[in-house]
């Protein structure tokens, strides 16, 4: 069964009208199969381990084969604490895994950008023939490219070409800084996603805990009504009460059982939602080790900066570096180069030669159709967008923090009010039950008191859940630790 292992057995009162003061007291954890399961150890069967076949060995061999091929039973896992649920989500949540991959990819881009600032060497081989001289180039995917003039007829060439940037107007340095800023932004976004996953798991855990507690409340009502049906049935049989009283209690028991079924379904659905956030199969057998009472007071406010702000600032830095890189194309691009070459003419008077060439080349586009201007304008617009996003993130986070703080105090007040209401409802039920047992009231009065007590128990569980959600929202909004 998917349950809260520490959910208290919430009984409104016993059948004779004496209220149990341990309404929300804890109980022993129920053994349940949970989310981490392991196979039982079993021996490895070897053909050499089979005894000599005799009469009846077919049965033994069949059992041995079944043991070898059938799935081994699983051990029941320990109920899942909130900390374990968050840790499992860190390992299995697909959104977090994708964010981590983005961060690693952005880190690799730093090496890509930095490689453009270093010496690059390529090996190039040519074999040509034709009726006229020409100029051919090496494969475009290989850098640096090599361009050579080839004569007519047969010709072979082997060369090594090297280039190194000497002056780029700061373009390559800007690209490296931009890649580092983008990597920082991706890492911070991953940290933000990690906090988001932890908060979502915690919120779903609280919801599942609430549903489990409401299921316990419903179970308590069923237990009370079951006992009432039994007691009143005995009194009807002895002629002390009318049949209508028993029918009324039986109808109430049927309603309580229906409510229990609904509560059990909600608990299962909540645990399925929790499993999805963790990143495990929805059919996994999950149970909760913590409940609303053990989680009480877990989170608080903090003054730490949220990673979303730092990630947005890093995105601004990256956009600014991209703008600098686009502007650097207006400066001359100076490259040092060198080539070592070995070639041969494939003619009757075959002749081979070898040599080298070194030098510096400086280039500056004079007319590019407005490409550089468009690149700079686009980079400037992207910078403006990054700045606007930074302002929006700061505003959103400030709003979240203010809203969360405003909701916390009322949620705490509701808990105190619910505790007072529960105490009053419990006393009212005790009195109503005593009056009914003494024959001074009708069944409807006791049932009304029972409804009020059940509602008060549910109100307290819901208030505790709302306070936990409010505290979690404050921690999430102010940058406090969630795990």
The 10s digit of each residue's pLDDT in 51-89 is 444 545 554 444 454 444 444 433 335 688 999 999 999
Measured CA to CA, the distance from residue 146 to residue 124 in angstroms comes to 7
What pLDDT shows up at residue 34?
Answer: 38
Comparing 365 with 420, the larger pLDDT belongs to: 420
Lowest-pLDDT choice from 105-109, 146-150, 261-265, 435-439: 435-439
High-pLDDT (> 70) share of the chain, %: 83
Would you say residue 28 has pLDDT above 50?
A: no
Provide the 10 A C-beta neighbour count for residue 32.
20
For the beta carbon of residue 392, count every other beta carbon within 10 angstroms. Answer: 11
Predicted local confidence at residue 58, as pLDDT: 54
Which of 274-288, 339-353, 369-383 holds the top average pLDDT?
Answer: 369-383
Supply the mean pLDDT for the chain: 83
Strand 147-150 and strand 154-167: the pairing is unpaired
More confident residue, 302 or 92: 92
In the chain, the domains with their CATH numbers are 39-73 (no CATH), 81-112+177-317+377-478 (1.20.1600.10), 118-173+327-372 (2.20.200)
Across the range 211-228, mean pLDDT stands at 92
Q: What is the pLDDT of residue 286?
A: 84
Residues 6+ apart with CB under 8 A from 80: 34, 35, 88, 286, 287, 288, 289
Alpha-carbon span 319 to 383, nearest angstrom: 5
Rounded CA-CA distance 458/55 in Å is 66
Q: What is the pLDDT of residues 223-270, one digit of tens each?
A: 988 988 888 888 888 888 788 888 988 998 999 999 999 999 999 999
Check whether 42 has a pLDDT greater than 60. Answer: no
């Amino acid at each position: 069964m998917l349950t809260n292992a520490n959910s208290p057995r919430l009984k409104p009162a016993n059948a004779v009208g004496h209220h149990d003061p341990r309404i929300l007291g804890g109980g022993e954890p129920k053994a349940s199969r949970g989310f981490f399961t392991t196979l039982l150890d079993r021996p490895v069967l070897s053909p050499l381990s089979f005894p000599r076949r005799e009469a009846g060995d077919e049965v033994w061999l069949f059992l041995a084969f079944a043991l070898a091929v059938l799935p081994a039973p699983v051990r029941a896992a320990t109920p899942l604490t909130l900390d374990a649920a968050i840790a499992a989500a860190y390992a299995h949540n697909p959104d977090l895994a994708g964010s981590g991959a983005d961060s690693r990819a952005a880190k690799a881009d730093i090496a890509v950008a930095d490689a453009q600032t270093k010496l690059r060497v390529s090996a190039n081989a040519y074999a040509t023939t034709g009726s006229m001289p020409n100029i051919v180039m090496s494969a475009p995917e290989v850098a640096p490219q090599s361009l050579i003039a080839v004569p007519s007829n047969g010709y072979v060439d082997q060369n090594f070409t090297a280039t190194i940037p000497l002056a780029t107007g700061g373009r390559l340095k800007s690209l490296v800084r931009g890649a580092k800023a983008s990597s920082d932004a991706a890492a911070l976004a991953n940290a933000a996603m990690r906090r988001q996953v932890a908060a979502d798991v915690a919120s779903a855990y609280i919801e599942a805990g609430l549903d489990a507690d409401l299921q316990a409340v419903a179970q308590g009502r069923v237990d009370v009504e079951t006992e009432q049906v039994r007691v009143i049935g005995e009194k009807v049989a002895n002629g002390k009460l009318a049949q209508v009283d028993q029918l009324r209690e039986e109808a109430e028991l049927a309603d309580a059982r229906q409510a229990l079924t609904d509560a059990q379904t909600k608990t299962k659905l909540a645990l399925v939602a929790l499993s999805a956030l963790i990143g495990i199969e929805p059919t996994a057998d999950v149970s909760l080790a913590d409940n609303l009472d053990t989680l009480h007071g877990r989170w608080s406010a903090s003054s730490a900066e949220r990673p979303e702000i730092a990630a947005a600032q890093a995105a601004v830095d990256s956009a600014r570096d991209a703008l600098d890189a686009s502007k650097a194309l207006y400066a001359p691009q100076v490259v040092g180069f060198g080539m070592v070459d070995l070639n041969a003419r494939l003619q009757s008077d075959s002749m081979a030669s070898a040599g080298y060439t070194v030098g510096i080349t400086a280039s500056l586009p004079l007319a590019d159709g407005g490409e550089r201007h468009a690149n700079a304008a686009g980079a400037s617009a992207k910078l403006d967008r990054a700045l606007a996003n930074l302002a929006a993130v700061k505003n959103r986070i400030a709003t979240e923090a203010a809203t969360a703080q405003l909701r916390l105090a009322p949620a705490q007040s509701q808990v105190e009010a619910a505790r007072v209401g529960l105490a009053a409802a419990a006393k009212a039920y005790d009195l109503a039950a005593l009056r009914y047992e003494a024959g001074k009231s009708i069944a409807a009065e006791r049932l009304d008191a029972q409804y009020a007590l059940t509602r008060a128990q549910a109100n307290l569980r819901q208030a505790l859940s709302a306070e936990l959600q409010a505290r979690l929202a404050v921690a999430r909004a102010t940058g406090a630790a969630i795990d």
